Structure 1
Amino acid sequence: MAWDEWEQLKAEAQARGDTGMRLNGVPPEPAPNAGGPNGVLKVHQADLAAIGDEAFKLYTRLWKEARVTSTETAGTDLTSQGIMLGSALTHVSQRWDRQLNTLMDACALISNHMDFTKNAHQGDEYHIKRRVSSIHALDAGFDESFAPPGKKNDVYGTKEKKDEKG
């Protein structure tokens, strides 16, 4: 943020009568991927799969189309013939290969991470569902609203009357 912009924002706040300082916060904005009022990120499995798939496609295209092995060979040949441009061409080719490998590694990492994330979140989802369902049953046993005070809570089932022997 430029100093002029800061001064302008201060003047606007003062004109509104908002002279209090607010750090690390912005007014709430509508977010299309927010899951609730607290801005919970909502991601669907299809979204993760699509991102991973695109990263894999990019990796494959880079492998097929971006590798240039003839450039380094040409640079070596030119250098052996005494042409100074040859060493520069070899340098550029080696730099390209390093940059390309870095980009391909990033694509592979994204693709693999999306697969891992999809599986991890699916496992988390099952775990949470199991825990919440058991907590709900436990809570029902302690919730007084399920039975009036002094009465048996139906959550535990009804006690069968024993036949009197006589």
Structure 2
Amino acid sequence: MSFDDEWGETKASAMRLNQAGSTGGSAPKPGSASYVVEDDELGDIGHAAYGLFNGLEPGGKHAAAASETAGTSLKGDGFDSGAALTEVNQTWEKQVKTLLQACAHISNHLDHTKKSRKEDDDWIQAQLRIVGPVVPGNDGALPASQINKFFR
């Protein structure tokens, strides 16, 4: 099997996975797909993760002190539910911290990706201006229709 055949099958398989469970969204049709992520989309997702982080910080901890006090009091009065409540509270706090870390990681990663992608795009554009022929009205940039010949 040639590389082109294998690559085509891999892309088709990825598109099928991308559409699995779809509820009629805007997934491209197999064979016509273009994997494009706009900067605005990265920014929106990063902003949502940042917003979740900021809302979860106080919201996820608002009952911690009361739960700890109640657990200690119940345990002191001889109720087994006091120890259970304390354990549940500790587990909850660990889960909130984990989710906070995940939100921060997503937000930071998307910020980095957006910045890195912009730098890569600028570098590629500069390189194409260097190697490409001057096209009238295009400030020396290589038109998209000509880029392909440099990869064959």
TM-score if structure 2 supplies the norm length? 0.65
Considering fraction of residues, name the structure with more helix.
2
Matched, 1:97 2:97: no
- Letter of the 1:91 partner, please give it: E
TM superposition outliers: structure 1 runs of 4+ over 6 Å: 28-31
Q: Which of 110, 122, 126 is matched with 1:126 structurally? A: 122
Matched, 1:39 2:29: no
Tell me which residue corresponds to 2:138: none
Larger radius of gyration: 1
Tell me which residue corresponds to 1:135: 131
Report the aligned-residue RMSD: 2.9
Gaps of at least 5 residues in structure 1 are: 1-22, 139-166
Number of residue pairs matched?
115
Secondary structure of the 2:33 match is coil
CA distance in 2, matches of 1:79, 1:71: 12
CA distance in 2, matches of 1:131, 1:47: 26
Tell me which residue corresponds to 2:81: 85
Give CA-to-partner distance per residue, 1:44-63, whole Å, 9 cap, x none. 11111111111111111111
Gaps of at least 5 residues in structure 2 are: 1-8, 20-24, 135-152
CA distance in 2, matches of 1:90, 1:32: 47
CA distance in 2, matches of 1:39, 1:130: 27
CA distance in 1, matches of 2:31, 2:93: 47
Cα offset, 1:73, TM superposition: 2.1
Matched, 1:56 2:50: yes
